[in-house]
Amino acid sequence: MGNLEVEKDRLGFDSKRYTTLLFVCSIALPVSLMIIIMYQNQLFDLTGGLAKAAKSRNVTALNAGKTPRPFLQLDFQTRKMILHHLPSFLMEGCIMGICLLDLAMELVQKITPRGTRTGLISSLMELWLQGFGIESGSRNDSSGNDTSSKNNSLPTTSGPDEKQLNGTLAPGFRKEPGSRNYSENDSLLNTSRSNVKHRNETLSPRFQKESGSRNDPSQSNIMPGDKFLDGLLAPGFDERSCSSRYQSFLFRKTSLHKPSSHLLSKLRRYEDIHKRCGPHSKSYHKALKGLRSSHASRGGCKYVVWIPTNGLGNRMLSMAATFLYALLTNRVLLVKHGADMANLFCEPFPNTSWLLPNDFPLRNHFGSSKHRYAHSFGRMINKSTTSTSMEPPESYLDLNLGLGGYDQLAFCDESQALLQQIPWLILLSDQYFVPSLYMIPSFNQEIRKLFPEKETVFYHLGHYLFHPSNQVWGLITRFYQAYLAKADERIGLQIRVYHDKTTPYQTVMDQILDCVLKEKLLPEVADTQEPPPPPSRNQTSKAILITSLYSEYYENMKNMYWTKPTVTGEVISVYQPSHEEYQHFGDDMHNMKAWADIYLLSLCDVLVTSTWSTFGYVAHGLAGLKPWIWQMPRNKNPACQRAMSMEPCCHFPLTYDCKTRIEVSAATLLPNTMHCEDRKNGLKLVDGELLL
């Protein structure tokens, strides 16, 4: 026993030191586990970071008592850089501000004495930042200023799923300020450089283009994103039920097109009306009782029921136009989404639904053209012109705002006074009839107040209404992050061929190449057998996104940029999300892929779209871009032309002058409109200065 006591004393083994050992192990174990997890992921350059940390003595201590979320204390650009390198399974958690770093920090605060926290937290923060190649001085000081260090370059890495057909950038290359690919990530800590071009972001791919950019002459500075889109979106939704609503801003550059205060207040008032009058409310059931009677009842809620027709692009354009009509007339918009649209969109209005209930009394009559004509607005107008008796207004009317006929008289002011007496309007249209709404004097001034920028009508309404469902959002984000996010520039090519049997494939391909090469949207390839030059630090990358029913265009362009080098040295990659071979009607999965294709196109920096294509209209309208429109093969010169407006084209606008009661050219009826580039009889809105 005495020997044991002597040995214990010699080793200095007492309860205090034993407790200290356990305490140190309890700290080291979770921290080591975190480092091992990071080390096993190739996106974390932790080895280089540890080497830097050993040499660096410039550690900015954080106040442990005031950092319950250390990740959020970092400046905005540093947070984005960390998120850029995070593996996908951690990305969603870090969007919410909860990272492994936060968990480790909280653990240190809970199990360490107050006097020893600062050093441990500072060291842990140092290791974390060094693991991303970020120097310790990049955190903001207490005044919010950037405390940068001198080493400002960051290595770029390629994700495991990224396929580059003309070569790959070595992951260790550092980019220099003079290169086109020099990004805000590369100069994150350099306060002496301003107005840096922001590129190559995975989670937040918004960037600032140079003045004279092909798609927009001026872009705003990169700022912390606004998930409510400058007040366009209302708060209060369950974010888990619709991830895209509040995450979409992460995938877009900051917009110059801000919604007007009048539009925001109008939307908030509409949301209140929809909540009060929406499906299954007391007001809705009261309105149904009036619908079942033969004549309209005064007072109460009024509705416009949208009926789908034709493809997804047509449907989205006409839904947006119908919603604007609902805003202008204080009606509640209800939409009939069949099985082929059941999984496309989230609910756009808070605490209610825009879906027409399945037990709606007239639902079974929507497909009957005979029934629709019997209750049509055009028939009522025609009957009133041949009869001297005035019948009381009906409880509902069918309104077809498509190809013309008497129904287009609905765009006359006196007709709107009559329609205001009808509680239920059943509206069928495949057109973007917004330009015709401008022609109604009682609407004109209100629309101008809602949209001071005339060519932003669909841009704002589209971002308010159309949020991809979680299933579609998964298709979009997985494809974008795997293939498009790391490119310096994304080029979208939307190829729609209307008569594939009579239009040779090679003719279409030649015209598309003629367009993108002459407009210098894509580089030419070198006809040489010389070995390719070594990778350059200034080498830039472009990703081409092709959307088409056919795969031949993708295969042709992919092989062109794979088998030959570009004359500019740019790295070109080509991708196509889907190719369905033909347009499917009544197919939910087909429409989901189409919606994903449209949305991916809207995330591109440059767009080339097809003539007459409503698919392309929706894409460039959501993108806020003026696309190049490639002409049909019979019009080969020029191969494509730049759109004058980002507004969609109304293919069949109002051509009836309500004052003179004669047919006229649509463009003569309304200022700030022009005939569409791809359809001479069509009409689109443009801002006034473009017409000078």
Residue 24 has pLDDT above 90, yes or no: no
Strand ranges (E), 357-412: 396-400
Confidence of residue 42 (pLDDT cuts 50, 70, 90): very low
My answer on whether 425 and 494 are in the same domain is: no
My answer on whether 458 and 475 are in the same domain is: no
> Between these two residues, 505 and 9, which has the higher pLDDT value?
505
DSSP track, 181-231: T--TTTTTT-TT--S------SS----PPPTT-SS-S--PPP----TTTTT
Q: What is the mean pLDDT of residues 573-578?
A: 94
CATH code at position 664: 3.40.50.11350
My answer on whether 391 and 510 are in the same domain is: no
How many structural domains comprise the chain?
3
Confidence of residue 137 (pLDDT cuts 50, 70, 90): very low
Domain end position, chosen among 465, 482, 506: 465
> What's the domain range around 39?
13-138
Q: Three-class SS of residue 650?
A: strand
pLDDT in tens, 451-466: 999 999 999 999 999 9
CA distances to 331, 612, 679 from 507, in Å: 48, 18, 21
DSSP track, 52-102: HHHH--------GGG-SSHHHHS-HHHHHHHHHHS-HHHHHHHHTT--HHH
Residue 571 has pLDDT above 50, yes or no: yes
User: Residue 86 has which token pair?
Assistant: 């995070």
542: which strand partners?
489, 572
My answer on whether 335 and 481 are in the same domain is: no
My answer on whether 451 and 523 are in the same domain is: no
Least confident of 428-437, 505-514, 683-692: 683-692
What pLDDT score does 96 carry? Answer: 40
Residue 351 has pLDDT above 90, yes or no: yes
Domain end position, chosen among 138, 171, 206: 138
Please give the DSSP secondary-structure letter assigned to residue 566. Answer: B
What pLDDT score does 686 carry? Answer: 93
Q: What is the mean pLDDT of residues 478-489?
A: 96
Interatomic CA distance for residues 186 and 172, integer angstroms: 13
Interatomic CA distance for residues 3 and 263, integer angstroms: 88
What pLDDT score does 687 carry? Answer: 87
Least confident of 29-38, 134-143, 418-427, 633-642: 134-143
Q: What is the mean pLDDT of residues 611-616?
A: 95
Please give the DSSP secondary-structure letter assigned to residue 296. Answer: -
Residue 260 has pLDDT above 80, yes or no: yes
Interatomic CA distance for residues 617 and 626, integer angstroms: 10
Asked whether residue 543 is assigned to any structural domain, the reply reads yes
Residue 36 has pLDDT above 70, yes or no: no
Asked whether residue 344 is assigned to any structural domain, the reply reads yes
Asked whether residue 256 is assigned to any structural domain, the reply reads no
Asked whether residue 171 is assigned to any structural domain, the reply reads no
Residue type, 287: A
CB atoms within 10 A of CB 178: 8
Percent of the chain at pLDDT exceeding 70: 62
CB atoms within 10 A of CB 617: 30
What pLDDT score does 334 carry? Answer: 98
Q: Is residue 691 within 8 Å of 684, Cβ to Cβ?
A: no
For 383-403, give one letter per residue: b (16+ CB within 10 A) or e.
Answer: eeeeeeeeeebbbbbbbbbbe
CA distances to 288, 291, 359, 527 from 395, in Å: 10, 5, 18, 71
What pLDDT score does 123 carry? Answer: 54
Confidence of residue 25 (pLDDT cuts 50, 70, 90): low
For 85-115, give one letter per residue: b (16+ CB within 10 A) or e.
Answer: bbeeebbeebbeebbbbbebbebbbeebeee
Per the listing, tokens 């992951």 go with: 171
What pLDDT score does 150 carry? Answer: 36
155: which strand partners?
174
Q: Is residue 277 within 8 Å of 332, Cβ to Cβ?
A: yes
What pLDDT score does 22 carry? Answer: 64
My answer on whether 411 and 521 are in the same domain is: no
Interatomic CA distance for residues 422 and 419, integer angstroms: 5
Asked whether residue 313 is assigned to any structural domain, the reply reads yes
Interatomic CA distance for residues 124 and 130, integer angstroms: 10
Confidence of residue 527 (pLDDT cuts 50, 70, 90): confident
What pLDDT score does 629 carry? Answer: 96
Residue 311 has pLDDT above 70, yes or no: yes
Least confident of 138-142, 265-269, 331-335, 632-636: 138-142
Asked whether residue 460 is assigned to any structural domain, the reply reads yes
My answer on whether 294 and 433 are in the same domain is: yes
My answer on whether 334 and 351 are in the same domain is: yes
pLDDT in tens, 203-223: 334 333 333 334 443 333 333
CA distances to 153, 174, 195, 197, 535 from 183, in Å: 10, 11, 10, 5, 18
Q: What is the mean pLDDT of residues 671-689?
A: 86
My answer on whether 295 and 410 are in the same domain is: yes
My answer on whether 486 and 529 are in the same domain is: yes
Please give the DSSP secondary-structure letter assigned to residue 528. Answer: -
Which residue from 468, 464, 488 is spatially nearest to 478, judged by alpha carbons?
468
Asked whether residue 295 is assigned to any structural domain, the reply reads yes
Residues 6+ apart with CB under 8 A from 36: none
Residues 6+ apart with CB under 8 A from 193: 177, 187
Least confident of 101-115, 308-322, 498-512: 101-115
My answer on whether 409 and 517 are in the same domain is: no
My answer on whether 460 and 481 are in the same domain is: no
CA contacts within 13 A on the Cβ side of 568: 16
Domain end position, chosen among 138, 157, 176: 138
> Between these two residues, 549 and 574, which has the higher pLDDT value?
574
Q: What is the mean pLDDT of residues 164-179?
A: 34
Interatomic CA distance for residues 560 and 27, integer angstroms: 56
Q: What is the mean pLDDT of residues 387-416?
A: 77
Percent of the chain at pLDDT exceeding 90: 43
Please give the DSSP secondary-structure letter assigned to residue 424. Answer: E
CA distances to 162, 473, 625 from 477, in Å: 14, 6, 21
Asked whether residue 632 is assigned to any structural domain, the reply reads yes
pLDDT in tens, 544-566: 999 999 999 999 999 999 999 99
